[in-house]
Amino acid sequence: MKLMAIIGRIILVCILCCILLMRLSESQSDTLAQGQELKDGMQLFSASGIFRLGFFKPGDVSNSYLGIWYNRNNEKAVWVANRDNPILNSTGVLRIDQYGNLKISQKMVDDIVLYSVIKAINTSAVLLDSGNFVLSELNPDGSIKQELWQSFDYPTDTLLPEMKLGFNSKTGLNWTLKSWRTGDLPSIGSFTLGLDPSGVKQMVISWRGNLYWTSGSWHTWCFSLTDEFCSNYKFNFSYISNENETYLSYSVDKGTTIFPRLLLSEEGELRGFGTDAMFTGVSCTSSTNSTLKRGCVEQRLPDCRKSNNKFVSKLGVMSSSGIKIPENENLTLIDCWDVCFKMCSCLAYASANDDGTGCEIWKKGASFTQYNLGGLREIYILKSKGNKWWIWLLILVGGTALLPLLCSSCYVLWKKSKSRGNHSQRMEYNMLLYELGEGRKHQKDGNINNELQLFSFDTIATATNCFSSTNKLGEGGFGSVYKGKLLDGREVAIKRLSRSSGQGLVEFKNEALLVAKLQHTNLVRLLGFCIQGDEKILIYEYMPNKSLDFFLFDAERKNFLDWKKRFSIIEGIAQGLIYLHKYSRLKVIHRDLKASNILLDKNLNPKISDFGMARICGLHESEENTNRVVGTYGYMSPEYAMKGIVSIKTDVFSFGVLLLEIVSGKKNNSNYHSKSQLNLIGYAWQLWNEDRGFELADPGLDESCPMTEVRRCIHVGLLCVQDHAEDRPTMPDVVSMLANQNILLPPPKQPAFFINRAEKEFIETSGKESGSFSTNDVTISEMEAR
């Protein structure tokens, strides 16, 4: 019995040793087969042992990531699979499931799918000696049938030899490096390295969408400003461009270079790793070495800052809480510096979180107390420079007595003149502020408080990241529109009037007061305004789907507008105009109704915007004369464009043009007849007379759409654009015509349209013969989509 027990123990030990050897063999393999799993603590190694793949925890964080790194100690991952989707509590498992999908599974959380296939196939993934992790479909004999996915197509912050930096126009892949957020946080940071999207043969680094560094142009074997990479460290670059792809790649001499790579750091530095050592090739912020700053783009600074202004890191506390930038902005410490440096009132900043993310800034008025104690917060304080006024005082005292006396007299006269001018300007702005804000505090319409919120310029600058180009939604003659996020998390559209804009205080006040008083579901809502110095800013609710012309006149995006949605947009615009003309407290004529001024919310519901040109009429007045004709040619009624006569029928004409554009998907100011060069109105009239009106409908509309409804819309559109205002229906009549198919519509008369070739001649002649027209200030509003 004892012998049997000993033999049993020996067999058990052998079985355990076999299992251990199998586990070790599995962790040392370079291949993950279908049905296999790679758990936390297990690793894949490339065939020669150069690279390894597995789960890791960067720094002191508790979350884990799947990554690839060089097979040696203390190496940073060169590729991360789930950089913005960390695995909680180390429960990640990499597997190829029974359907051939490559994914990361974790407990109680949805899988992270790296590659998905439609049906079950024989797949396996292998880690190559190049550091590329490749998923392939296999033939029955085990040979590779086709490559399905590879990690090289999804780089993170590191460029390895044989990887590509550029884009593939055929597959849509865009190979760029994106920095880590911090040294211990792999999620996407603030800097991006890629090829110049403008087509210039050079590498560029962007900082949150703004150009930060350029490599110089490509010359045969290297970029003009990166010769250090090519000559000293044997990086053999190649630039490839053909009809399918354009990319940069490099190779190295393995005999002289160990563990080569290019790294885009979290601070925007481009670091190269050569012969088992690191060198920094680009550093635009932290280094004073001029050779490392070659190619750096000079950052635009506000007038209140100078390039030698510096922030000094100190341990201590601030006297009050600062302004915290919303967490979803994903800002890092260098972004905090940028925000604070470009905000004149900012004197200190710090990371909001212990992991180095988030931003908290302090404005003037807050004070700092320094404590050199461990564990305290590191705060960056603006270093003040001593005032050298005494030098100028010595120069002034040492001058002649006559010159200072003369300068003093001139100064007194200039000061008095400026004081009168500033007083007048302050009175004008104070009156405007009263009308827009204080004078409206107690006005309510039902349960709706119509008070406008007065925003500070610093709040608006913070919301738009100092009016960053990445936040710009559009630009026109009035200025620019930016997307912004307020401190309470609300997304807004911020309209910043340009100093050179034709719209001044009159239009600004007109739009602010009008929109604040108008409350309707089909009118855009004004949240507030900002006036500071020459800055005039309006803050609106944000429309995520931009404007109607963004969809309507684009060959691909117009497919999102089926007939049901187009008819809903037509009805919504009509309801908004009925409210303006009849049911609002003011009788308002918009005067600039067009596709770019119809904004679309998240459900593609229309909202009329841009009331800077709007006109308020008496409730019992039918029409007025104006000496200032404003609007957009092609949408303006003839009596308004030629004689300055404005009425509600002016908007009806514009609505008719807009209705024909929505039905046809065509712009009114284009040519639609090879011989006569007719605009859209003329083309629609010609088709109608030839009983071919249905041909005006957008060819992209579904064949199942109700053609009787489409034809009726064309009919109503032609009634709205008739030459004489009295022949056009009112907007309530228009809504009835569209909603009730049983109403018999009158036949349309010849509308007001021009043959485009003769239109210019007509306008010039009218300008010479009509005294009233020659004084009109006609503006053409070309507004981009918002």
What span, in angstroms and rounded, lies between the C-alpha atoms of 176 and 321? 38
Mapped onto helix, strand or coil, the DSSP state of residue 526 is: strand
Those residues whose C-beta lies under 8 Å from the C-beta of residue 732, and which sit 6 or more positions away, are 578, 582
What span, in angstroms and rounded, lies between the C-alpha atoms of 197 and 193? 11
Token pair, residue 487, equals: 């401190």
Mapped onto helix, strand or coil, the DSSP state of residue 240 is: strand
Token pair, residue 520, equals: 């309707």
Token pair, residue 427, equals: 């009175």
* Measured CA distances, 623 to 579, 644, 729 (Å): 18, 10, 15
Candidate list 335, 592, 610, 651, residue with the active-site label: 592
Residue 141: active-site member: no
What span, in angstroms and rounded, lies between the C-alpha atoms of 725 and 764? 23
What span, in angstroms and rounded, lies between the C-alpha atoms of 780 and 614? 15
Phi, psi of 769 (to 5 degrees): -95, -25
Q: Are the CB atoms for 684 and 693 separated by under 8 Å? A: yes
**Edge-first strand listing for the sheet containing 177-182:** 177-182, 185-195, 203-207, 210-214
Phi, psi of 343 (to 5 degrees): -110, 110
Q: What is the DSSP string of 145-210?
A: EEEEEEGGGS--SEE-TT--EEEETTT--EE-EEEEEETTEEEEEEEEEEE-TTS-SSEEEEETTE
Instruction: Please identify which residue in the block is written with the tokens 């002191």.
Output: 60
In the 8-state DSSP scheme, what is residue 435?
A: H
What span, in angstroms and rounded, lies between the C-alpha atoms of 509 and 514? 8
Catalytic sites, residue numbers: 592
